[in-house]
Amino acid sequence: MLKDYIDLEYKPTKQDFVCEYHIEPAQGVGFEDACTHMAGESSIDTWSDISTLSPQLAKELKPHVIFTDEKQQTVRVAYTQDLFELNSVPQILSAIAGNIFSMSILDNLRLMDITFPEDVIQSFHGPKFGMQGVKDLLGVTDRPLVGTIVKPKVGLTSEQHAEVAYNAFAGGCDLVKDDENLTDQKFNRFQSRAELTLKGSEKAEAETGERKMYMCNITAPTCEEMLKRAGIIKDLGGEYAMIDIITVGWSALQSLRDHNEDLNLVLHAHRCMHSALTRNPRHGVSMLVIAKLIRLIGLDQLHIGTVVGKMHGERDEVLALKDECVLKNVPANHDLHMLEQDWGRIRPMFPVASGGLEPTMVPELTKIFGKDAIMQFGGGIHAHPMGTVAGAAACRQAVDASLDGISLEEYAKTHNELKAALDKWG
């Protein structure tokens, strides 16, 4: 019966999930056998023939292995949506990325991509604001947004944290966020930090005439506490919250998005710990899959890498992630292991470039991302020789120069903050 799962003539329907895997069989295991056992384990099979699996049930729910390429070690499997709880990312992943990673007949397995049927897409919220909603909120449509992370990551008091954030806002940052490991430590309590930093953003708005947004990290030990912290942000007049998407888990993210129908906050997705799943090109889950799930659940913006900077991420992967964030209809691209996806009513997410950036990288970032990105600088602002205010100003100046087609060296002749940045990093 296992060989029946190999069905290369099968055409997926509008009710099918399609998953693409990189698969490496263990020694002595045939490629097609490995593919069909993996497809069975992720759906209706177990390790032995069982009398409880009727022919009728097998016919209705069996997976279809629709593509195999032994040389490229690639397989695609179509699953009927009847196998899944439609509005449950945890259950979906328990099937298509669950026990199959523990199978002894496989040396390596990587979930490369997934495409969702229309009914599944309709069962999720998608982003509440999305890219255009964030632009409208900030009143910025003609340039990339400029953001920063308060540095050092941890150790500052609430008062010091708020001062650094205010200086970044005053210098020209649109957005300021917490880092991934700052939550509610004794030296910087969550509510105090939120209150003081939001006051700093209001002060900077009054002084600059620009909208300023603070993303406070609501990552917490329980869903209840996470939602409580989101409510505190709302009560304080905040409009943004940040969440560590991998460490809090998929159920927490879906709970947060459900509650956000009433909270009405922009939700920023920090992807810390993703490389534990995504970095090995032969095993794990691709960042592309994670990005799709985050858009489906409905966070508004997501770290996707930079190409330049300190974090791992190849150019082709980052560009594929950008497309998956912003396009309504994502075309198939077999070189990048991308399956076609029609997102229907699901809004685009704002892609965030973050990780080791500084002002001299802005021209290249502008070529890669255009205007539809958030450029997020940490040390590239706070390590500026003239301080945080000047560091933020230098980043804005670099953006202005790049959009006007002027070299940074030329622009720096009349902009001291940018000149100092070039002297340090250029």
166 closest CA partner among 196, 127, 191, 123: 196
Give catalytic status of residue 177 as yes or no.
Answer: no
149 closest CA partner among 225, 236, 217, 245: 217
Give me the phi and psi of 58, to 5 degrees please.
-60, -40
> Cβ of 60: how many Cβ atoms within 10 Å?
12
Set 37, 128, 151, 303: catalytic member: 151
> Cβ of 299: how many Cβ atoms within 10 Å?
30
Contact 23, 75 (CB under 8 A): yes
CA distances 239 to 5, 35, 132, 259, 373, Å, are: 49, 47, 15, 14, 19
Interhelix angle 223-235/250-263, nearest 10 degrees: 30
Contact 6, 32 (CB under 8 A): yes
Classified as helix, coil or strand, 23 is strand
307 closest CA partner among 318, 298, 320: 318
> Cβ of 357: how many Cβ atoms within 10 Å?
24
Set 128, 270, 274, 292: catalytic member: 270
Give catalytic status of residue 283 as yes or no.
Answer: no
List Cβ neighbours of 314 (8 Å cut-off, separation of 6 or more): 307
Burial class of residue 123, CB neighbours in 10 A (0-12, 13-18, 19+): middle
Q: Which residues are catalytic?
A: 151, 270
